[in-house]
Amino acid sequence: MNQTTLKESLMITGGVGLHSGQPTRVVFYPAEAGEGVVFHRLDQDVKIPATYQYAKSSPLCTTLQKDGVILQTVEHLLSVCSGMGIDNLLVELESEEVPILDGSGYEFFKRFSEVGLRELAAPKQGILVKKPVLYQKGDIEILATPSANPVFSFAIDFAHQQLGQQEYHFQFTEAKYAEEIVRAKTFCLERDVETLQAKGLIKGGSEENAIILGEDGQFKNMEVLTWLNEPNLHKILDQIGDFYLARNLRILGNVHSHKSGHSSHLEFIRLLMEDRQDAWELVEL
């Protein structure tokens, strides 16, 4: 199996940043083997590789930073790259945020599928987990163990009637990603909306691009749901994107997570890649 990129360039317009609320246009270009996923802030003329070395913790999203230039909300796009097996891609923007679009990864997936992928003359690699790796912080836990097939199991626990405690097991294949994960929208508790807006966040959020968990214990905008457990599925979508910061390689193992989020995903990847190099090896797929 070889690395891939897009067959040709494409542009997505009309989107806005989830947190900035600013109009955002993004252009995608094919890239050569070994280049990985790279973002280019045209307005600052800074290229930022989408790897954990350039990632930083930020509220409610995954942020990349280089030379004082930031790029926010990269997780949905990176999730689609991982889910479709796109190894190399140049992403150009003139703003600080990837567009939220419908709150899932579907628009990226749809446009990339229309263009198609091109195989490159270099083998595709993955990170094979050989020993258990455990990250714990309070009641947050991420455990990766060896497995013949990559699996994501995600448990959530929210004080909300429609969510509560639930867990979803996802065997990671490109076909299953397209069927079960890519359409899952982001979500927000209704009671948190004013607080987040007061902090200058979710200015581009709406009932069209986010599932609102109402104060009455119901979904406030149920018409935008694809699945009743969509928030749990979206947590997996986010995690797949955050984990692609590991050199834009898939992690091949059984990953079980409990109540984790963007910051803990990043801390786990740093633990795995830097402190637990004995627990994995690069393999050709």
CA distance 63 to 246: 14
Q: Which residues contact 162 (CB under 8 A, 6 or more apart)?
A: 213, 217, 218, 219, 228
Q: What does the pLDDT look like over 141-177, one tens digit per residue?
A: 999 999 988 999 999 988 787 788 999 999 999 999 9
CATH fourth-level superfamily of 2-125: lpxc deacetylase, domain 1 (3.30.230.20)
Is residue 238 marked as binding?
yes
Which of 53-62, 80-89, 190-199 shows the lowest per-residue confidence on average (mean pLDDT)? 190-199
Q: What does the pLDDT look like over 180-211, one tens digit per residue?
A: 999 999 998 888 888 888 888 888 888 899 99
Is residue 256 marked as binding?
no
Q: What does the pLDDT look like over 12-34, one tens digit per residue?
A: 999 998 888 889 999 999 999 99
Q: Which residues are catalytic?
A: 262
Position 169 scores a pLDDT of: 95
Position 194 scores a pLDDT of: 81
Is residue 234 marked as binding?
yes
Position 189 scores a pLDDT of: 85
Domain ranges of the chain: 2-125, 126-284
Position 128 scores a pLDDT of: 97
Q: What does the pLDDT look like over 100-145, one tens digit per residue?
A: 999 999 999 999 999 999 999 999 999 999 999 999 999 999 999 9
Position 276 scores a pLDDT of: 98
Which of 67-71, 82-86, 191-195 shows the lowest per-residue confidence on average (mean pLDDT)? 191-195
Mean pLDDT over each residue of the chain, to the nearest integer? 94
Q: Give the residue from 193, 261, 188, 174 showing the smallest Cα distance to 230.
A: 188
Percent of the chain clearing pLDDT 90 (strictly above): 81
DSSP strands (E only) in 94-217: 117-123, 125-129, 133-137, 140-145, 151-157, 165-171, 187-189, 211-213
Position 202 scores a pLDDT of: 84
AA letter at 257: S
Cα-flanking dihedrals φ and ψ of residue 13, to 5°?
-120, 170
User: The domain 126-284 is classified under which CATH number: 3.30.70.20, 3.30.565.10, 3.40.50.150, 3.30.1700.10?
Assistant: 3.30.1700.10
